[in-house]
């Protein structure tokens, strides 16, 4: 076999060998054997020629470029008509895949500190700590402060009403303290 720039040529040598003794005993059988061997050889040659031709055609640059363009469209068209999620859920054992996954590598990739801070913020851990450790004194102080704030509001409203002031007071203070809670301003 010789290959030259992707094109291969095959040479087949067909040898007809009648089975020993069969021709003398049964000439018809010898003819059938020879015919069968010839047919087999022809089929073999044909198959190899076809596969060689297909291989040659498939390896050619033109066909490759055409396939590069056609195959993605064809695959997309096929996939577009299929519910891959459903197929995967039906046919793939996800638990088995997950069981073999290296969790430590996944954990290494997770932003654990951010996750921890996020959970602390979401569950309002400081409030839980405050409630569990603050005790009556803290509660009383917070209550006093809130009552004082309410009294501040009352005094402000009264004063504004007496002075016929319509605009709300600008109580924003400079610095981060007010910016931090800008979206929650009263």
Partner 1 sequence: MTSFSEYKRRVDSGQPGLEADTSVPKDARAYQGHRAGFFSRSIAAIIDLLSVILIVVIWNLGAAFVRMLVEHVQGVEIPKLGWSVAIGTILMWLVWTYAWATTGRSLGMHIMGLRIINYSGNRVRLPVAALRSIFCIVFPIGLLWVIISPANRSVQDVVLRTSVVYDWVVGLPRICSGPPLDTA
Contact 79, 30 (CB under 8 A): no
Phi, psi of 9 (to 5 degrees): -125, 140
Spatial distance between the Cα atoms of 47 and 35, rounded to a whole number of angstroms: 18
Residue 51 CB, shortest distance to partner 1, in Å, is 53
- For position 74 contacting partner 1 by CB under 8 A, the verdict is no
Residue 81 CB, shortest distance to partner 1, in Å, is 32
Residue whose C-alpha is closest to residue 12's, from 37, 48, 36, 62: 48
37: CB partners within 8 A, 6+ apart:
16, 17
Cβ-based neighbour number of residue 7 at 10 Å = 13
Tokens 């109580």: give the residue.
171
> Which residues inside 96-135 make contact with partner 1, applying CB under 8 A?
111, 113-118, 120-122, 124-127, 129-130
- For position 142 contacting partner 1 by CB under 8 A, the verdict is yes
Residue 106 CB, shortest distance to partner 1, in Å, is 15
Residue of 9, 12, 47, 172 that binds partner 1 (CB under 8 A): 172
Residue 136 CB, shortest distance to partner 1, in Å, is 15
* Piece of 8-16, 60-68, 81-89, 147-155 that binds partner 1 (CB under 8 A): 147-155
Q: Which token pair is 182?
A: 């800008």
Q: Which token pair is 95?
A: 């638990």
Q: Which residues bind partner 1 (CB under 8 A)?
A: 111, 113-118, 120-122, 124-127, 129-130, 141-142, 144-146, 148-149, 151-156, 159, 163, 165, 167, 169-181, 184-186
């Amino acid at each position: 076999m010789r290959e030259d720039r992707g094109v291969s040529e095959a040479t087949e040598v067909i040898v007809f060998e009648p089975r020993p003794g069969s021709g003398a005993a049964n000439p018809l059988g010898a003819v059938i054997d020879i015919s069968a061997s010839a047919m087999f050889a022809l089929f073999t040659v044909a198959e190899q020629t076809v596969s060689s031709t297909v291989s040659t055609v498939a390896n050619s640059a033109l066909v490759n470029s055409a396939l590069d363009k056609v195959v993605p469209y064809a695959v997309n068209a096929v996939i577009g008509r299929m519910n891959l999620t459903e197929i995967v859920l039906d046919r793939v054992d996800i638990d088995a895949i997950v069981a073999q996954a290296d969790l430590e590598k996944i954990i290494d990739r997770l932003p654990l500190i951010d996750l921890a801070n996020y959970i602390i913020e979401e569950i309002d851990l400081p409030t839980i700590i405050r409630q569990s450790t603050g005790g009556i004194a803290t509660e009383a102080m917070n209550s006093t402060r809130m009552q004082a704030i309410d009294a501040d509001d009352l005094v402000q409203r009264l004063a504004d009403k007496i002075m016929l002031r319509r605009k709300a007071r600008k109580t924003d203070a400079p610095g981060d303290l007010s910016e931090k809670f800008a979206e929650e301003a009263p």
